[in-house]
């Protein structure tokens, strides 16, 4: 493991990407000619909206009255006593629909409405982003069309039913491995045919510019709230460590954004079977350059994790950049470490975390018990979601 580099000065990290949406050599806008104007239109609309106090007022209100923000910051008293470090939990599991995903989709749905679009397209793997998108579309009176791999439709019947209950159309994707990677490609292909009336709502800090930047900005509410809450809760003001799990990297990016200009060490936790940074190589997928899991021929491989939300073979380009800069550190946790972490949090704090979020908890437990975390250092962990959706998996595993 490399030494942790000194944090970068305030203004240079987690601001706007450079030209063409680049974070260093990552990011960009690698899309077919026909989608370039569509991405440019989203970028222009987002820039205008983000500079408009009325947009922020509308979004903040939706986040408050519909999504239940601000979410709590919960000191994990009993777990802290056991581990000998001070653990604080940012409770995205308490947000409407059960995870941080609602923050992003409310922002993008409001943007779609502002752009005069009537329909929202989205990809989904496990179905969580599909459900969140269908929720935001219903709230704002927009149509929702969700692309989902045939294999995932079978595995995630409950979320398919939820989306339909919310009025969304679910389109089965039959190409390739019939999972998330192909549903994302299919949603982008479909967007070409209907850009005039449709808005493409991406689920994480990935895809062509401006999505990685825009989604991070919509998720930074997690980090901004946590920063204020930490200032009120801690005599030291800021945590020493800020930890979040990583699928595409949106809950981590949103959390990190609130602390990038503090001395806090930023830790992203990947699933061992989806560790794009730990085990991937650079390449281009779904419109952006980043680290990707690839086979020996450079073909993008499938990710495998007990947590369906971490089953993405890539990672957001800004994380690749933060890693190269040494501003954030990326670690992996195995499936075998995740289940005990769920049980530990359930028994000590009365919280059943999502399997994704339990990756972050598992790393904290490992790092505290191995002595890597100094005694009574302060660790902020983003609990990205609640565990209700994972009960069947947990029953099988116990």
Ligand X SMILES: *Cc1c(COP(=O)(O)O)cnc(C)c1O
Please give the residue ranges that form the binding site for ligand X (CB under 6 A): 99, 101, 128, 204, 245-251, 309-310, 354, 356-357, 384-385
Active site residue 384: yes
Residue nearest to ligand X as judged by C-beta position: 385
- Annotated catalytic residue: which of 92, 99, 117, 123? 123
CB of 48 to ligand X, least distance (A): 25
Considering the complex, state which of residue 28 and residue 387 has its C-beta at the smaller distance from ligand X.
387
CA angle at 356 for the pair 354 and 357, rounded to the nearest 5°: 70
Q: How far is CA 140 from the centre of its chain?
A: 22
End-to-end CA distance of the chain: 33
User: In a 3-state reduction of DSSP, which class is residue 175?
Assistant: coil
Active site residue 281: no
Considering the complex, state which of residue 275 and residue 354 has its C-beta at the smaller distance from ligand X.
354
Distance CA 157, CA 161 (A): 6
- Annotated catalytic residue: which of 99, 349, 384, 389? 384
Active site residue 90: no
CB of 260 to ligand X, least distance (A): 17
131-167 per-residue burial string, b: 16 or more CB within 10 A, e: under 16: bbbbbbbbbeebbbbbbbbbbbbebbeebbebbeebe
Q: Return the number of other C-beta atoms located less than 10 Å from residue 374's C-beta.
A: 12
Considering the complex, state which of residue 86 and residue 387 has its C-beta at the smaller distance from ligand X.
387
Distance CA 398, CA 395 (A): 5
* Helix or strand (DSSP H, E) at 281: strand 281-285
CB of 331 to ligand X, least distance (A): 14
- Annotated catalytic residue: which of 90, 99, 101, 181? 101
Kindly give the pairing relationship between strand 26-27 and strand 119-124. unpaired
Considering the complex, state which of residue 120 and residue 338 has its C-beta at the smaller distance from ligand X.
338
CB of 73 to ligand X, least distance (A): 18
CB of 244 to ligand X, least distance (A): 7
Considering the complex, state which of residue 96 and residue 101 has its C-beta at the smaller distance from ligand X.
101
Kindly give the pairing relationship between strand 265-271 and strand 241-246. parallel
Active centre residues (catalytic): 101, 123, 384
């Amino acid at each position: 493991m490399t030494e942790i580099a000194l944090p970068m000065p305030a203004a240079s990290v987690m601001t706007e990407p450079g030209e063409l949406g680049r974070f260093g050599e990552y990011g960009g806008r690698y899309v077919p000619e026909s989608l370039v104007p569509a991405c440019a239109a989203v970028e222009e609309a987002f820039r205008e909206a983000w500079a408009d106090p009325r947009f922020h007022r509308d979004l903040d209100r939706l986040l408050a009255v519909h999504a239940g923000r601000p979410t709590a910051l919960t000191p994990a008293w009993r777990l802290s006593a056991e581990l000998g470090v001070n653990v604080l939990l940012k409770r995205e599991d308490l947000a409407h629909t059960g995870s941080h995903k609602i923050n992003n989709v409310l922002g993008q749905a409001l943007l779609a409405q502002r752009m005069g679009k009537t329909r929202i397209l989205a990809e989904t793997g496990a179905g969580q982003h599909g459900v969140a998108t269908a929720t935001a579309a219903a709230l704002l009176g927009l149509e929702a069309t969700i692309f989902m791999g045939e294999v995932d439709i079978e595995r995630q019947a409950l979320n398919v039913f939820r989306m339909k209950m919310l009025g969304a159309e679910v389109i089965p994707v039959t190409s390739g491995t019939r999972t998330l990677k192909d549903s994302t490609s299919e949603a982008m292909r479909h967007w070409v045919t209907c850009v005039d009336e449709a808005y493409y709502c991406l689920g994480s800090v990935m895809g062509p510019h401006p999505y990685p930047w825009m989604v991070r900005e919509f998720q930074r509410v997690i980090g901004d709230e946590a920063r204020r809450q930490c200032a009120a809760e801690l005599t030291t003001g800021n945590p020493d460590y800020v930890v979040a799990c990583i699928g595409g990297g949106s809950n981590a990016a949103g959390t990190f954004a609130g602390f990038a200009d503090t001395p806090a060490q930023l830790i992203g936790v990947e699933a061992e079977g989806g560790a794009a940074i730990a085990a991937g190589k650079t390449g281009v997928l779904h419109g952006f350059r980043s680290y990707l899991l690839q086979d020996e021929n450079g073909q993008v491989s499938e990710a495998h994790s007990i947590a369906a939300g971490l089953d993405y073979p890539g990672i957001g380009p800004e994380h690749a950049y933060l890693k190269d800069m040494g501003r954030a550190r990326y670690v992996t946790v195995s499936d075998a470490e995740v289940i005990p972490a769920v049980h530990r949090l359930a028994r000590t704090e009365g919280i059943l975390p999502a399997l994704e979020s339990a990756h972050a908890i598992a790393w904290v437990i490992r790092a505290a018990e191995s002595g890597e975390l100094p005694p009574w250092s302060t660790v902020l962990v983003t609990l990205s979601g609640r565990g209700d959706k994972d009960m069947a998996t947990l029953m099988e595993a116990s």
